[in-house]
Chains A and B, each alone.
Chain A
Amino acid sequence: MQGTPIESVKSGIRQLHRDLMGDPQAIESAYLSVLTFSSSAVQLVPLTEVAAFQPPDLVASGNTNFGDGLRLLLDVFDRELVRTTAETKGDWRPLVFILSDGAPTDVDWPMYAQQLRERRPANIIALACGDQADTQALKQVTETVIAMQDMSPDAFRDFFRFVSASVKQTSAKVGALADGAGITLPPPPPGITIVP
């Protein structure tokens, strides 16, 4: 992703942060992290409470090392998430949004995609941006894949509003994922379609 779209994503993250800062429940309980993957994956911001979050700068690149991104995501889950134990109340199950406008350029990604599908450590929503995104690869990671053909700043703005609404809505008691009763997301904005 590069050019106007990457600028729109940066703007969208700033907008998401501003929006969550206006929600008292988010201030008290939401954490944000930003990971990028191009030639390799980097965690630009570790899980950080909303009040202390600093929107990062994003650098565009041509490669799509999807496998390294998924590997890093699994690693972050293991390192930064708190699970409920007899002594400790766990975090809310994280909500992960994966944005991609291309196809994987590495060969290892199916292995990590399978781990994510089997372990289900998060509610993952994948956004296929534009007509070059590989929706079938995203489908290997999560059943919830949405597509946005229009990559204009307005379209990204609407998408990040959807992200913000999703974060606010998902901090509610739900059935366990194992029982097939996961979260219910708000309806996606116009221009975003659900990939069957």
Chain B
Amino acid sequence: MTAPPDDTTPSLIDEPPPRAVWGTRIPDVAWCPPEWASFLPDVDVRDAIDAPEVAHRSLRQGPWALIAASRRGRLHAHRGDHREDAIAMHEHATGWCGAVADGAGSAPWSRLGAAIATQTFCAAFVAATGPLGPRATAAARVSHDALRQFAQQSDIPLRALRTTLLAAAVDGNQLATLQVGDGGIVVVGRDNTVTLPQAGDAGEFSGEVHHFLPDDGSLERLVASMQIMSLASVRAVLLVSDGIEDPWYPLARHAPLLVESLEHGLTDERAAAIAVANGVQHAWRGTVATAPDPAAALGEWMTFEKRGENDDRSVLFARCLPPE
């Protein structure tokens, strides 16, 4: 017979810290107030309404295979809040346009801001004609103006819609990338080197960002960030919101491992290497790029855990595939 435990006896075994217990609640407020719905005529709300936990989509355009996914973070799920990230992608005759946005947690309608910013940018880009740079600039202006118009119509302050915007657009043999706010854009070369064409916009402390759409000056900041490069040496582009960037920080160092895990799978060995490199714990095992439904697999890949990293997560991954 075992003696009952004595509360006064100190344990000789170090107890692990208590594990956070996370719940999941469905938001009890509408994603968009009904009276504002008519102000969103060009915004597809299916991601927000039909896929509140994880939205994903895919696209093929010429040699390019695009997948994107956006997953509600554990903190929003626990509190019954909507996902505030958004993704969008469109094709056109000679390329594609994709965007990722992360609505500011302190802005009450940032989920609408993120959706408006991504969708209007992509739609405006593919509708425009002319050289890549001016098209991307025009799309940025349309996106910025759409946010301001929505704020005016719904009678809310501009800062209520605050959102980041990361965008990439391909036309022929050129790639343009733009960014305002945090998160990261990664360009993967054919020699597998990675570059980050935009500097992040993080502040001195976590969660602080200097520029959001549609603040004054943010359009200029977005346009000024534009980088245009030849696609001759590019084989993939990755756009990630800060829900991915933070656990993989610094992205400049960890992006090769991130891209490798998406393209070549999460073997036990690779998952262990990732855990050692940055503390990210992947429970899901698989290869996103070769999964039967790569976009859905990307949504599963994003279920990784890292202590304290519970934000919404969004990824857009575009690969230029070799000829079959």
A binding-site residues for B, Cβ under 8 Å: 21, 24-25, 27-29, 49, 51-52, 83-84, 86-93, 171-179, 181, 183-184
Please give, as numbers and ranges, the residues of chain B lying within 8 Å of A28 by CB-CB distance. Answer: 20, 307-308, 310
C-alpha gap A49/B18 in the complex (Å): 11
**In the complex where A172-B106, A184-B106 touch, is A87 in contact with B250 (Cβ < 8 A)?**
yes
Chain B residues within 8 Å of A51, by CB: 17-18
Docked complex Cα distance between A175 and B202 (Å): 10
> Contact string, B1-24, partner A, CB cutoff 8 A, digits 1/0?
000000000000000011111100
Could you list some 24 contacts between A and B, CB below 8 A?
A27-B18, A28-B20, A29-B307, A29-B308, A51-B18, A87-B253, A89-B206, A90-B205, A91-B205, A92-B205, A92-B206, A92-B207, A93-B205, A93-B206, A171-B75, A171-B207, A173-B104, A173-B242, A174-B104, A174-B105, A175-B159, A175-B212, A176-B209, A183-B106
Partner of B210 from A29, A90, A179 at Cβ < 8 Å? A179
Number of B residues near A (Cβ < 8 Å) is: 36
Q: Is B246 engaged at the interface, CB distance under 8 Å to the other chain?
A: yes
Q: Which residues of A contact B252 (CB under 8 A)?
A: 86
User: Which of B19, B21, B202 contacts A84, CB < 8 Å?
Assistant: B202
Among B17, B22, B208, B310, contact of A52 (Cβ-Cβ < 8 Å): B17
Closest Cβ of chain A: how far from B248's Cβ, in Å? 10
**Cβ–Cβ < 8 Å partners of B162 in chain A:** 175
| Cβ–Cβ < 8 Å partners of B182 in chain A | 173
- Quick one: which of A25, A52, A181 contacts B20, CB cutoff 8 A? A25
A176 near B208 (CB under 8 angstroms)? yes
Contacts of A172 in B (CB 8 A): 104-106, 207
Interfacial chain B residues near A24, Cβ < 8 Å: 20-22, 74, 78, 310
Whether a CB of chain A sits under 8 angstroms from the CB of B28 is: no
Return B243 CB to nearest CB of chain A, in Å: 10
